[in-house]
Amino acid sequence: MRIAPEGWPFIWIGVALTAALAVVWRAWPGWSLALPCVAALLTVWIVVFFRDPERRGPRGDQFVIAPADGRVISVAEVDEPMYLHLQRATRVSIFMNVVNVHVNRFPVSGEVDIVHYNPGEFFAASLDKASLVNEQASVGIRGPRGPLLVRQIAGLIARRIVTDVAPGDSAVQGERFGMIRFGSRVDIFFAPAARVRVSVDQHVRAGQTIIAEYPS
């Protein structure tokens, strides 16, 4: 199983803690066996959280592919003045819980135009205002069917957004561009010309699920 590079420091800490507690338990049997067991379970959970599976799915200029695993919590028309410069853009919001894969992927191919980090609050990512006030990183992509914006949003627990691209980089549909640690949300903004193919409460998979489709 592939592990996201960002996860290895946490995994080694978990392994070291488990080993230390096991040594203490062996040396002093009066200590509870539950401590190393809990540490071992926590380490397994960290491994699962940072898993980074290969993903294959539909590809093509007409498709907008899910940038994140999780549940669709909102499909709305909103203003998007930062990059699309549209008064009415379509926004699809995907909430990632602590058991989802947290690696984020490019929804379209093209060129990365902007990468903008904005410090902010840490409200629950499922709240609508999280898209406006939470800590976030926005990636604007100049795609073959027009501009598209992906916004990584930190949540109540998440405190680290990883964005591994810079302006001028190539975006390849379905390939990795970053991740958010420990529960978060990803919003994707595009022109209303693309027909939305998902609905609220639907579960989607990064690199596989078609979020929207442009007309032929």
Active site members: 184
Give the end-to-end CA distance of the chain in Å, rounded to a whole number. 38
Q: Dihedral, CA atoms, 65, 135, 182, 39, nearest 10 degrees?
A: 160
CB of 179 closer than 8 Å to CB of 51: no
Tokens of 133: 């006030």
Q: Which of 189, 216, 204, 186 is nearest to 57 (CA)?
A: 204
Q: CA–CA distance from 131 to each of 91, 125, 126, 198, 202 (Å)? A: 10, 8, 9, 19, 19
Q: What is the dihedral sign for C-alpha 52, 54, 56, 62?
A: positive
User: In sequence order, what are the beta bridge partners of 111?
Assistant: 142, 170
The count of other CB atoms within 10 Å of the CB of residue 75 is 16
